[in-house]
């Protein structure tokens, strides 16, 4: 059992992990590839104390040396769901389940807008995990919307189960797929249906389907953990980085403004300390 599972390997998550380790807790980081962090795109950072004339990638090299020195494991991939169970949390990470006593969410802030209808059809046609839910669409038609190359293995997996797959990538695809996969360079606009998903409206035409897989690197935290309270698309936290759910803490850009490095690192520390205190109080 993991003491503190940190979701996200940006500055907030790495800071939470270091602080969990210095509190002698067993910590694991679950995060997409490092280059998906907002910081990785910074060409020059001058406002974090002790660092100047440095770019985001160089900062990461230093951060990761710190993580390695403390021998903190990083599992690279996406967390799609966290289920609160009686005394712990079950984390669905790339279709493997990990159990943790507490969670620190450090997933950054949303880069793409939620689709119209996305929220309404979660659980009745909208899914964020192909291998978890693919079987529900055996011999049916699905649409996959993705922003990253890693989603292609899910498209291939779905093409083996489903009747057909319409793939709407927001990046340039160079791979080959089986004949029942059609790549559509359209812009998805709206998910349509009555009780269940029936179609996706795009910039070009309506695509009839039974299910929609949204395989983007960023999933709104409240879609990973049901019941998580949000405020203007950010996780609502108090000064101890506690969310409305006992045992779940949040830090960094995902908790709101200012979307800045020092705030992310500071909140990572607070969230880890709060999580450690939560464990010690049990
Ligand atoms: C171009 C640019 C320049 C910037 N310059 C500065 C600057 O000069 N000074 C400054 O203070 N700030 C700057 N910032 C802001 C700073 O980079 C962010 O505030 C900081 O990176 C926030 O850290 P974070 O850990 O909260 O989020 P992020 O760095 O975004 O990290 C979040 C990580 O979590 C991962 N993740 C998300 N969802 C999941 C999931 N479901 N499963 C697994 N992993 C997941 C993401 O892929 C990402 O790797 C800049 C940002 C940008 C984009």
In tens, the pLDDT along 185-221 reads 999 999 999 999 999 999 999 999 999 999 887 888 9
Q: What pLDDT is stored for residue 112 in this prediction?
A: 62
pLDDT of the chain, 282 residues: tens digit per residue: 999 999 999 999 999 999 999 999 999 999 999 988 999 888 889 899 999 999 999 999 999 999 999 999 999 999 999 999 989 999 999 889 999 999 999 999 976 677 999 989 988 999 988 887 899 999 999 999 998 888 899 999 999 999 999 999 998 888 899 999 999 999 999 999 999 999 999 999 999 999 999 988 788 899 899 999 999 889 999 999 999 999 999 999 999 989 999 999 999 999 999 999 999 998
Measured distance CA(246)–CA(191) in Å, rounded = 33
- CB of 106 within 6 A of ligand 1: the answer is yes
**What is the pLDDT, as a whole number, of residue 279?**
97
Distance CA 197, CA 122 (A): 9
Extract the tokens encoding 151: 């989603």
Question: What is the separation of C-alpha 145 from the centre of its chain, rounded to a whole number of angstroms?
Answer: 15
Whose Cα sits closest to atom 27 in ligand 1? Answer: 108
pLDDT at 123: 81
Closest C-alpha residue for ligand 1 atom 44: 31
Ligand 1 mean position to 59 CA, how many Å?
Answer: 12
How many Å apart are CA 73 and CA 160, to the nearest integer?
33
**CB distance 271 to ligand 1 below 6 Å:** no
- What is the CATH architecture assignment of 126-215? 3-Layer(bba) Sandwich (3.50)
Rounded CA separation 256/58 (Å): 25
Closest residue by CA, ligand 1 atom 41: 79
The end-to-end CA distance of the chain, in Å, is 15
Cα separation, 72 vs 92, whole angstroms? 20
pLDDT for position 111: 63
Candidate from 15, 108, 109, 235 with most ligand 1 atoms within 8 A of CB, to mutate = 108
Q: What is the pTM of this model?
A: 0.85
Q: Tell me what pLDDT residue 83 has.
A: 95
How far away, in angstroms, is 69 Cα from ligand 1 center?
A: 22
Q: How many beta carbons lie within 10 A of that of residue 238, not counting itself?
A: 10
What was the pLDDT predicted at 227? 93
Say how many Å lie between the CA of residue 179 and the centre of ligand 1.
Answer: 38
Would you say the CB of residue 79 lies under 6 angstroms from ligand 1? yes
CA 90 to CA 36: how far, in whole Å?
24
Domain locations along the chain = 2-110+220-280, 126-215
DSSP letter at 149? T
pLDDT in tens, 215-256: 887 888 998 999 999 998 899 999 999 999 999 999 999 999
Q: Are 3 and 27 in contact (CB under 8 A)?
A: yes
**Residue 200 tokens, joined:** 């996706």
Whole-number pLDDT of residue 239:
97
- What architecture (CATH level 2) is domain 2-110+220-280? 3-Layer(bba) Sandwich (3.50)
Measured from the CB, is residue 36 less than 6 Å from ligand 1? yes
Is 126-215 the same fold as 2-110+220-280?
A: yes
Instruction: Tell me which residue has its CA closest to atom 12 in ligand 1.
Output: 260
Ligand 1 binding pocket includes 39 (Cβ within 6 Å): yes
Residues in the chain: 282
pLDDT at 203: 93
């Amino acid at each position: 059992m993991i003491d503190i599972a940190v979701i996200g390997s940006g500055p907030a998550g790495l800071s939470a992990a270091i602080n969990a380790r210095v509190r002698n807790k067993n910590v694991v980081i679950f995060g997409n590839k490092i280059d998906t962090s907002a910081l990785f795109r910074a060409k020059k950072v001058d406002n974090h104390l002790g660092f100047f004339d440095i770019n985001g990638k160089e900062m990461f090299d230093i951060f990761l040396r710190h993580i390695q020195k403390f021998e903190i494991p990083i599992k690279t991939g996406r967390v799609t769901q966290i289920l609160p169970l009686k005394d712990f949390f079950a984390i669905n990470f790339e279709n493997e389940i990990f159990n943790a006593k507490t969670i620190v969410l450090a997933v950054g802030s949303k880069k793409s807008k939620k689709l119209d209808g996305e929220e309404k059809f979660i659980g009745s046609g909208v899914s964020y995990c192909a291998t978890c839910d693919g079987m529900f669409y055996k011999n049916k038609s699905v649409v996959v919307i993705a922003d990253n190359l890693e989603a292609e293995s899910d498209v291939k997996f779905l093409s083996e189960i489903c009747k057909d797959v319409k793939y709407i990538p927001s990046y340039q695809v160079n791979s080959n797929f089986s004949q029942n996969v059609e790549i559509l360079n359209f812009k998805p606009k709206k998910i349509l249906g009555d009780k269940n998903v029936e179609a996706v409206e795009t910039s070009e035409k309506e695509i009839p389907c039974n299910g929609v897989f949204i395989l983007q690197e960023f999933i709104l935290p409240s879609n990973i953990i049901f019941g998580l309270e949000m405020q203007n698309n950010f996780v609502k936290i108090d000064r101890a980085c506690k969310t409305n759910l006992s045992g779940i803490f949040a830090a960094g850009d995902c908790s709101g403004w200012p979307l800045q490095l020092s705030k992310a690192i500071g909140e990572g520390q607070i969230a880890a300390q709060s999580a450690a205190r939560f464990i010690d109080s049990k």
